[in-house]
Structure 1
Amino acid sequence: MSEVAIVTGGSAGIGAAISRTLLARGMQVIVLDRNAPDWADERLVHRQVDLFDAEATASVATAVATQHAVTHLIHNAGVIRPNLIEATPPGDFTDLAQLHFGAALTLLKAVLPGMRERRFGRVILMSSRAALGAATRGAYAATKAGLIGLGRTWALELAPDGITVNMIAPGPIAGTQMFHGVVPAGSEQEAALARAIPVRRLGAPQDVANAVAFFAGREAGFVTGQTLYVCGGASIGQLTV
């Protein structure tokens, strides 16, 4: 059976590393992103969509599920929107709930009939080390933590159908627009953060892509409902951004 993966936010950063890794494993990759990748592959398809837009997401989900026999769903797209309590607008929670929860649900519902028919599927949700708590990350941490509970629930519902659902929770990953939008590249803040991580370095997009590759494989069929922290040990120590 040929394998087809949806990767949200797959054009750059962690998403691009995931997309390239899955392509290297022989999959076709469908990237759902507002921006097109600045690289190409004969098995790479880009569908432009704003996942904050529920109607647009539903339309793309239906089209992709109709045109492709999707076997893997990797929901990687995410936004931080850092703010202290007093400066956090309630709309941040609504927006990030749509991006992190709503888009995942819409996409899964679209591809689920095919996965059930084939009795095979891999769903991977991108959480975050911030799910354990991080100052200024109220809406982000709340929704990323919620993805863990959501994924564990889906894992229970889908296990009898041969579909696994797992979560990955990255720590600080350098070289991404999202990270450097908060921590300037080359700054003392970046260096101090690296020193605070037990392995004494920041993560790279490929570190996360390697974890995705494990959960995506057929050899991981006995692993479901799990959260893998790809964080250099930051999830078991103190971390200040």
Structure 2
Amino acid sequence: MPHFVLVTGGSSGIGKAIIERLSAEGFHTLNLDRQAPRQLSLNEQHFPIDLLDTGALEHALDRLSQEYEILRVVNNAGMVKPALLESTSISDVREVAKLNIEAPILIMQQFLPAMKARKFGRVVNISSRAALGKEKRTAYAASKAGLLGMTRTWALEFAGSGITVNAIGPGPIATELFTAVNPPDAPQTQRILDAIPVKRLGEPAEVAHAACFFLDDRAGFVTGQVLYVCGGMTVGLGNAA
């Protein structure tokens, strides 16, 4: 029986890199993204779904749970609404939380019974280094920090069922999303590069490599952890004091 992995936001950026790596590893991937990928990877199926539409998401998840045995999930889809606190609207906070927090909850509630029945599951939540704090990221940082809290909580709740739940906190990664809010020629982008100990942006494939470790059958003794793929920036925070 094929091993299926559900990946949200898998049509571009980090999500696409994760699907490409999983495909290379022999997995079948189910990509939930409102936009289609430029090209499907081997054994990838795309399901056009707006994760902000709760009714549509619940309907899609119900159908997928009936058609596939999904024991691995990557909650990757995310949204950034950059703004200083004074300009952060409550509607933006709610929209970001709907995608970054509510969607993963609905997804896990749908597929948890199958994982418990098989006494096996692998869940990877893509958080962000911004969860540690970043200017103009009130809504985003709050949601990604919340995702880390959920990761640890779920790890404890599901540990006895053979289900691991871990998170990845990417630092600056060269994706379309990063470039959209950090133009290459902008002064703040150069400041970001200067602050990265390895002196370059990360590549989506490097995050995918970390995700595949957590998704592996052999990673059953690792749960509730956060791995920062950040070029050393998180270590630098510890030395700043």
Q: CA deviation at 1:181?
A: 1.0
2:222 is aligned to 223
Q: CA deviation at 1:186?
A: 4.9
Q: CA deviation at 1:235?
A: 1.5
CA distance in 2, matches of 1:189, 1:117: 49
Root-mean-square deviation (CA), in Å? 1.2
Q: CA deviation at 1:219?
A: 1.2
Alignment coverage as a number of residue pairs: 237
SS at structure 2 position matched to 1:49: coil
Asked if 1:54 corresponds to 2:54, the answer is yes
Q: Read off the aligned partner of 1:55 and give its amino acid letter.
A: G
C-alpha contact 2:197 2:231 (8 A) present in aligned 1: yes
Matches within 5 A, 1:131-146: 131-146=131-146
* Superposed CA offset, 1:47-99 (max 9, x none): 11111111111111111111110011100000110001111110112111111
Matches within 5 A, 1:1-241: 2-174=2-174, 176-237=175-236
CA distance in 1, matches of 2:34, 2:10: 10
C-alpha contact 2:79 2:96 (8 A) present in aligned 1: yes
Q: Read off the aligned partner of 1:70 and give its amino acid letter.
A: I
CA distance in 1, matches of 2:28, 2:228: 26
Q: CA deviation at 1:231?
A: 0.4
Q: Read off the aligned partner of 1:81 and give its amino acid letter.
A: K
C-alpha contact 2:51 2:57 (8 A) present in aligned 1: yes
TM-score, structure 2 as length reference: 0.95
Q: Relative to 1, partners in 2 of residues 1:189 and 1:136: Cα closer, same or farther, differing over 3 Å?
A: closer
Where structure 1 has 5 or more consecutive residues not aligned to the other structure, the ranges are none
Superposition misfits of 4+ residues, deviation over 4 angstroms: none
Identity over aligned residues, as a percent? 46
* Superposed CA offset, 1:132-183 (max 9, x none): 0001000000010011111100001111111000000000001x12101111
* Superposed CA offset, 1:28-63 (max 9, x none): 100000101111234111011111111111111111
SS at structure 1 position matched to 2:94: helix
SS at structure 1 position matched to 2:117: helix
